[in-house]
Chain A
Amino acid sequence: NAGVMQNPRHLVRRRGQEARLRCSPMKGHSHVYWYRQLPEEGLKFMVYLQKENIIDESGMPKERFSAEFPKEGPSILRIQQVVRGDSAAYFCASSPTQGYGYTFGSGTRLTVV
């Protein structure tokens, strides 16, 4: 069991480009959560998804950010028209049921230049 796999580990984008971050949950986990860690700040919840459904996106910025978790394949966090303030570490976690058994990925470090 490979755990929660996030890729890429590091991503550099120029301002205005799109960033796509991928998260493959642990086998058997159908709940995925995305968190953002801004420099010098703690982790903040962004979005909670189950297969094909967004359950809670209360932590997502209203513009440019979207997330999906399709029936097949990884969960994708998409940031359009990136700005310097989007530079952060983005972590994904998965769980088999809501509320228990979380496993975190190693994160994707996004740098916007």
Chain B
Amino acid sequence: KNEVEQSPQNLTAQEGEFITINCSYSVGISALHWLQQHPGGGIVSLFMLSSGKKKHGRLIATINIQEKHSSLHITASHPRDSAVYICAVSRDTGNQFYFGTGTSLTVIP
């Protein structure tokens, strides 16, 4: 079992739809990260969370430490949001990141 589980694996949405990607983890963490990876491209860090909620433009990330769960929301989705979204956690002990396998999002015009 992976330390970090994401769902769904693949997601197709119509432009304008509200999108939610979920992440659950099973280890103690110091922070949770949401990353974005475009095809053939690098990785961009979207959010780093240790509690509560953060918002940046149309993106919102929340975390529930007690339930070990985080969600990434995209409001008014746009085709340029099409990418792989990766949840990652940095451990509260040791030096590693653990990564989810990613959610591949396609937004159709």
Q: Measuring CB to CB, which residues of chain A are less than 8 angstroms from any residue of chain B?
A: 33, 35, 41-45, 48, 55-56, 58-59, 91, 93, 98-107
Contact = CB atoms under 8 A, between A and B. Distances in A.
Interface of B: 30-31, 33, 35, 41-45, 48, 86, 88, 90, 94-102
B94 A56 contact: yes
B86 A107 contact: no
Given A42-B86, A104-B44, 18 more contacts: A35-B99, A43-B88, A56-B94, A59-B96, A93-B97, A99-B90, A99-B95, A100-B30, A100-B48, A102-B45, A102-B48, A102-B97, A104-B43, A105-B42, A105-B43, A106-B41, A106-B42, A107-B42
Nearest to B90: A99
Contact of B96 (A56, A100, A106): A56
B21 to A, nearest CB: 14
A34 to B, nearest CB: 11
Contact of A103 (B30, B45, B94, B96): B45
Contacts, number: 57
Contacts of B30: 99-100
Question: Which of B30, B43, B94 is most buried by chain A, counting CB atoms within 10 A of its CB?
Answer: B43
B101 A45 contact: no
B95 A42 contact: no
A46 to B, nearest CB: 10
Given A55-B95, A107-B42, A107-B43, A102 B90 contact: yes
